[in-house]
Structure 1
């Protein structure tokens, strides 16, 4: 009884990601800098409807010179 609405909701979510070229955040990691002069960056992984892609953003706790966290929904 609740399975059909759930499957319909999952399909609508998948189709929305697929047709709008958007990605939904799956996981994120903070990658430390390689050298003392480098800056840390965020490795953000997004589900796009066809697979998982990774995008990198500069990381800054204050959000001034980079992002503090990965965006939950991103346009690709």
Structure 2
């Protein structure tokens, strides 16, 4: 799972941090670029789902949210297939 810098040390893949006064090594910079690309895709997918009113201002928690997201994803996939 991916995370950002706020989730260090909880088992998520987070971007490499630049050390003060030093540039990131090329390999770490490439890792960060790939991390940004993947997170952008995930963010765009979540944004598409939020076009549906039930998720736009979602205040549900737990199982209700899970069912709402699954239902919206299913409807979105049906719309793409049509």
TM (normalized to structure 2)? 0.30
Q: Which has the higher contact order (CA 8 A, sep 6+)?
A: 1
The structure with the largest helix share of the pair is: 2
Larger radius of gyration: 2
TM (normalized to structure 1)? 0.32
